Chains A and B, each alone.
Chain A
Amino acid sequence: MGMTIAEKIIALAAGVPEVKAGDIHTVNLDRMMSNDGTTHLTVDMYHNKLKHPHIADPKKMVFIVDHNVPSDSPKTAASQKKMRDFAREHNIDFWEGKGVCHQIMMENYVRPGELIFGADSHTCTYGALGAFGTGVGCTDLLYGMVTGTSWVLVPETVKFNLVGKLPEGVYPRDLMLTIIGEIGANGVNYQVMEFTGEGTKTLSVNDRMVLCNLAVEAGAKTAIFQADEIALEYLRERGREPKAVFESDPDAVYAREYTFDLSKIQPVAARPDFVDDVVPAKEVCGVRIDEAFLGSCNNGRIDDLRVGAKILKGHKVSDHVRFLVVPASQEVYLQAMKEGLIEIFMESGAIVMNPNCSVCWGSCQGVIGENEVLISTGTRNFKGRAGHPSSKVYLGSSATVTASAIKGEICTADQL
């Protein structure tokens, strides 16, 4: 029986010729990432709960401080110090303030064919390079750190056949929100979303990251693209080699199949408080906003900043809106500076922040107050996600967010 890309990666990591959905296997992990959202708890457990504290291979570990950067309180500073000290003591790669963890991982570590655990739900982003990345909690991370292994229940794969090309002014984020709106927040629970079809050839690695990153919002264990020439070129530019390049077998078994015609996708928005409450963006036009956010592991890359800057150039941010622009990494930030994008943002009245998770995770910077409204390129719009429980978050593309920041109410770029 044939296997999907995800099944082949698990089989390789388990050291067996074949796996099938529903099997439980012990796998060797290629890499583990942990950020400041939970690492202080992992470190405490390492010191206080383990009979034999030990790290199987420090070279497989990456610690990234990205959630509350710079720290916002003495307690946060203490939690981050615990993480920093542990990383130094055990020779673990440590990044702080350099970017959102998944952007750092994609720029520096992820290779096709790898099986990666990250103590963050958006670890599914790594499928953009044909890797199997999945989110875990800190106990799983600790177990992996100590043993170099973990257990995996092989998930079913659901095929998403993409055809056509996105129209001008419509972005991968509109596509992924549309897919989530259609299949629901529970649509692919414990399954893998495999994106395939000729439409994938129109999507860059950055575009693919947008799709894979949000897969968890439909319940997926991960999402994956075949590592094709586009992915291998991204890898070559960064001096990395694949671990293994897989494609799904013609007789691979899929739980279901969907087809999405990219040319039919329109700008959409997810309404508060659920990511799958997706409507055409025009339906929510006119909603007055207090803040707009362009950034996050979903939409803080150079492509997204270019879209925002192009729309913003020659305009001013509305005088009742805080427009936060947060490049996803220092690499992105520096590129945006070279291209003059940061100048455009600042001259228009945007607040350009250091690379970090920012208001997408609702702590640290940009938090919104009682009854305030945010339009965001972040990952989630759950109740209170960006601050006060009564506040509201709409999700839209970088174009919709920027246009809304200018107008002071939700609007699409073509309505400016």
Chain B
Amino acid sequence: MSVGKIFKFHNDLDTDQIIASQYLLLPNIEEMKVHTFESLDPDFPKKAKPGDYVVGGENFGCGSSREQAPSVLKALGIQAVVAKSFARIFYRNAINIGLPVIVCKDLPDAVQTGDEMELSLTDGVAVANGVTYSCTKLPEYMQNILSQGGLIASLNKED
């Protein structure tokens, strides 16, 4: 993956912060994405550029099962989410829609918003500020879903 800028968030970041309830029934993700992280940083959708990364702490994406949460990140061009740990529904949703998510225990505490990083999913390593961090590779089953472009893309390949 290419070099991108980091946007860092706190532990137990819940999906209400990624996209608030009042926007979930808007007609589509395009209309929702301009409200991404509105409660924490209303300018986030303007500042985030395709290829940037979101970095979280423990339990990233906890709370509501709203798939809109990984979907708005993907729609804004976020390349991957790196965290110390993920809440399970967000993790599964992200893989299902083809947004790479990877657990990296040491990187989150060592980086700040604005730092640059580069990630290799296949090697399971991230490089930020000249330091290489090892990440936990995805299980093969989930890697397969991701590499096919998500769960629906994989379903469409079956006949």
Contact = CB atoms under 8 A, between A and B. Distances in A.
The interface size bin for chain A is 35 or more
Contact of A137 (B12, B25, B29, B67): B67
Most buried by A among B67, B87, B139: B67
Interface in A124-169: 135-140, 142-143, 146-147, 151, 153
Contact of B16 (A136, A219, A383): A383
Contact of B68 (A41, A135, A146): A41
A151 B97 contact: no
Contact of B85 (A49, A119, A140, A189): A189
Contact of A36 (B25, B26, B92): B25
Given A38-B68, A380-B63, A384-B16, A143 B22 contact: no
Interface string B60-86: 001111111011000000000000010
Contact of A121 (B20, B63, B71, B97): B63
Contact of B25 (A40, A186, A216): A40
B59 interface: yes
Nearest to B90: A137
A136 B151 contact: no
Given A50-B155, A79-B25, A362-B22, A138 B67 contact: yes
Given A40-B25, A384-B16, A137 B66 contact: yes
Interface in A67-98: 67-68, 75-76, 78-80
Given A79-B27, A136-B65, A189-B59, A382 B88 contact: no
Of B65, B66, B67, B70, the most chain A CB neighbours within 10 A belong to B65
A45 B64 CA distance: 20
A139 B96 contact: yes
Contact of B156 (A51, A119, A140, A153): A51
Given A76-B25, A361-B21, A380-B63, A143 B16 contact: no
Q: Give the secondary structure class of A's interface.
A: loop
B36 interface: no
Interface string B84-103: 01011100110011000000
B89 A362 contact: no
A75 B16 contact: no
Contact of B152 (A143, A274, A363, A385): A143
- Interface centre among B24, B93, B96, by most chain A C-beta atoms within 10 angstroms, is B24
A389 interface: yes
Nearest to B157: A51
Interface in B6-64: 12, 14, 16-17, 20-22, 24-29, 38-40, 58-59, 62-64
A76 B155 CA distance: 30
Contact of A363 (B17, B24, B27, B58): B24
Contacts of B65: 38, 119-121, 123, 135-137
Interface centre among B68, B87, B92 (most CB of A within 10 A): B92
A382 B151 contact: no
A143 B151 contact: yes
Given A44-B28, A50-B155, A140 B92 contact: yes
A188 to B, nearest CB: 10
B64 to A, nearest CB: 5
Identify the interface centre among A37, A45, A49: most chain B CB within 10 Å of its CB.
A37
User: Could you say which of A121, A142, A389 has the most chain B C-beta atoms within 10 Å of its C-beta?
Assistant: A121
Contacts of A244: none
B42 to A, nearest CB: 9
B17 A382 contact: yes
Nearest to A22: B139
A40 B152 contact: no
B20 A384 contact: yes
A255 interface: no
Contacts of A137: 65-67, 70, 89, 92-93, 96-97
A351 interface: no
B12 A185 contact: yes
A382 B14 CA distance: 7
B17 A384 contact: yes
B87 A37 contact: no
A63 to B, nearest CB: 14
B152 A78 contact: no
Contacts of A68: 25
A322 interface: no
Nearest to B156: A51
Contacts of A146: 155
The 3 closest A-B pairs by CB, nearest first: A137-B67, A137-B93, A389-B39
23 contacts: A38-B65, A38-B67, A49-B152, A67-B24, A75-B25, A75-B26, A120-B65, A121-B63, A137-B65, A137-B97, A139-B150, A140-B96, A189-B59, A189-B85, A189-B87, A363-B24, A380-B14, A380-B16, A380-B63, A383-B39, A384-B20, A389-B38, A389-B39
